[in-house]
A and B are shown apart, each in its own frame.
Chain A
């Protein structure tokens, strides 16, 4: 029973990861055949400061705000493969710039690294932008296509109250975005019956040279040449069987050429068996 709950929550963590650690949607577990998982998340992110290319923090000209309603879904295509995707609505504001629209579409295929286990997986993921030309100072789209290869591993019950997950993501981006490598480390566990906690940190490292593009101070989810260390935590509650509610907060701790975003979000998830 506990394990099933854990799997369900792990899936929510993946979904909420869209906000918590927006660049990596990787999950370590696959859905059972024909099971459908949905997560809806409402988030609010803001930044009034940024780091320059030397890592010095400064006040930005405008307060950046990014409000997002994210929809993430997974479908168990077979025992061996799970399909997933994400699409949402967002509003991005900075000074006089104000854009509302559909976010970039992400779609991916997840498969098993070990055919018997459900705690490690690979993913191939594509991001289809809703506009071209790269991200602006205030936009809801990254403005370029991306292809990502992810791997993720989960260790359940490292301690009775602790599970650990970690993963890596190689992201190949269409110009003007940069290729990047991302790694993440997370932990989760039980708080009380039906309650769980989760924390995660994510490090993004650009793989190509810095070129001072306008994309640098764009959305945290875009593959710019910025480097950043982000983290966050969330608490989740199993409302009824297969339905979970959760809220969390995120923060960018360190960076170069990136905004110091902070965010809060709440999410709902449901699994159809």
Chain B
């Protein structure tokens, strides 16, 4: 019995650890089209919704005719677009579905964000579409790597044990599918019922019920009306990956006649993990920007009546936080494979695995020629997001520790080669320190916001990041230090007006001997700067980050 239990536990642990190291599955999909149509498909006017004749050629030579079009909203504007194939009736692809839908992954330079999000969603056991990396060729020409995503049809729900349900789609353009009573008069604009018919009366009834139910009894209402886990998981995933756009247009309420309950199917995870559209910039900067955020609270994103009452109800609020805690800090077992899924070390292993998988795939992608350097930067930013997000969640959302002051924090020094992530009372990173030697003591870090008062001679203060750092640690300790600056949106940035190209930012340290130019490694996507320093102690080391030539009095240390 004990041996069996031990084996079970070992298998469960292996399931989580193994999931982070297992091989990434990939499919190949070969299409044939008229040459002129193949030429036009991805190059045509972005908002055109025409389709073209296509034939799916299976490895065994089977030919499946149908029509192909490109799909998406803002993703239609980029050169690599997501194709949607509709096979002629009654054909089904590999016996599953008449539609083959593929996301181009073009708005996420890592090509990992969607896959990671769906992996977590599947690990949580949610009713959700299957996804698979798929390499596409048209007329024998490589088109690159896509993420095939299962069509949300009755077959998907049947696979999860739900028959004869109703699927509702919040309109992507209107962004008002928030289940609020205020939007009820606009129900027809905000929503469509995809099947079995267009009738929205059941959704209207749900909207009124959510509005009428008092907060105090909302947990009981949810237990009666919803698959509560589906909503808890949807919110937990949204919080973990920072999906800002889900709550009013990117999710699918489904009513299961099998269970007599509603559930939520999650959707759309391309701009997550610190990346978001910038509403203050026109396309393409609207989509492709180097902004970065990891510090959004539990209540991030648009309002949603269902979510809001979930937060307000004490029992449901606790349940959401507990689920997030499990995903971040839990230990997986057979019944709870999601536990620890978001733990930084597990995530780094998962990202490393994706990186190794994607490198050769990207080399064959004609849309990604010359973007390898950017890929490495993007992946490094994704890794940083995981570290910073988890530190933030532990400090703020999971409230493992309270107290402290804004813009300053401290932590005990770790052993040589280990890293400590120092946060302030708001969960923001003050510094990340990796000592080169094991020394007893603490690291203290403080941020002064605004244009630095002191900069190296010869440097324009406007060409500096508009914050400076004061970091102290035991005297003569050598350490790798990482600091961050804010660049949330175009209008919310600490990049000085004369910085220009952020790649030119260099860290300068000032101690009792003067200014020192520090060899700096930056990541302009994660807005982090790293350098090796020697702490002067007991006075703190002052760091500023500036662009432009420094005066000759400066020297590398």
- Say if the beta carbon of B158 comes within 8 Å of chain A: no
Contact residue among B36, B44, B47 (Cβ-Cβ distance under 8 Å from A3): B47
Cα A4 to Cα B39 in complex, Å, equals 23
Tell me how many residues of A have a C-beta within 8 Å of chain B.
Answer: 18
Q: Which residues of B contact A1 (CB under 8 A)?
A: 173
Cα A241 to Cα B51 in complex, Å, equals 22
Q: Which residues of A contact B43 (CB under 8 A)?
A: 116
* Secondary structure dominating the interface of B: loop
Known: A1-B173, A241-B173, A241-B174. A118 touches B189 (CB 8 A): no
The residues in B between 13 and 53 inclusive whose CB is less than 8 angstroms from any CB of A are: 36-37, 39-40, 43-52
Nearest CB of B to A241, in Å: 7
- Establish whether residues A79 and B40, one from each chain, have CB atoms under 8 Å apart when the complex forms: yes
Residue of A nearest to B39 (CB): A115
Contact residue among A4, A76, A117, A241 (Cβ-Cβ distance under 8 Å from B189): A241
- Establish whether residues A240 and B49, one from each chain, have CB atoms under 8 Å apart when the complex forms: no
Q: Which residues of B contact A116 (CB under 8 A)?
A: 40, 43-45
Contact residue among A3, A78, A240, A241 (Cβ-Cβ distance under 8 Å from B50): A78
Cα A35 to Cα B69 in complex, Å, equals 14
Cα A240 to Cα B39 in complex, Å, equals 35
Contact residue among A3, A35, A78, A117 (Cβ-Cβ distance under 8 Å from B49): A35
- Establish whether residues B174 and A33, one from each chain, have CB atoms under 8 Å apart when the complex forms: no
- Say if the beta carbon of A212 comes within 8 Å of chain B: no
Contact residue among B46, B50, B174 (Cβ-Cβ distance under 8 Å from A79): B50
Nearest CB of A to B138, in Å: 16
- Establish whether residues A33 and B173, one from each chain, have CB atoms under 8 Å apart when the complex forms: no
Tell me how many residues of B have a C-beta within 8 Å of chain A.
Answer: 18
- Say if the beta carbon of A59 comes within 8 Å of chain B: no
Per-position binary interface string of chain A over residues 1-16, scored 1 when its CB falls under 8 Å from any chain B CB and 0 otherwise: 1011001000000000
Contact residue among B37, B40, B49, B171 (Cβ-Cβ distance under 8 Å from A273): B49
- Establish whether residues A117 and B45, one from each chain, have CB atoms under 8 Å apart when the complex forms: yes
The residues in A between 56 and 95 inclusive whose CB is less than 8 angstroms from any CB of B are: 76, 78-79
Known: A115-B40, A116-B40, A240-B189. A32 touches B174 (CB 8 A): no
Cα A32 to Cα B52 in complex, Å, equals 11
Q: Which residues of B contact A3 (CB under 8 A)?
A: 46-47
Per-position binary interface string of chain B over residues 430-454, scored 1 when its CB falls under 8 Å from any chain A CB and 0 otherwise: 0000000000000000000000000
Nearest CB of A to B169, in Å: 14
Cα A116 to Cα B43 in complex, Å, equals 6
Q: Which residues of B contact A241 (CB under 8 A)?
A: 171, 173-174, 189
Residue of A nearest to B172 (CB): A1
A-to-B contact residues, CB < 8 Å: 1, 3-4, 7, 30, 32-33, 35, 76, 78-79, 115-118, 240-241, 273
Closest 7 CB pairs of A and B: A118-B45, A33-B50, A79-B50, A32-B49, A116-B43, A32-B50, A32-B48
B-to-A contact residues, CB < 8 Å: 36-37, 39-40, 43-52, 171, 173-174, 189
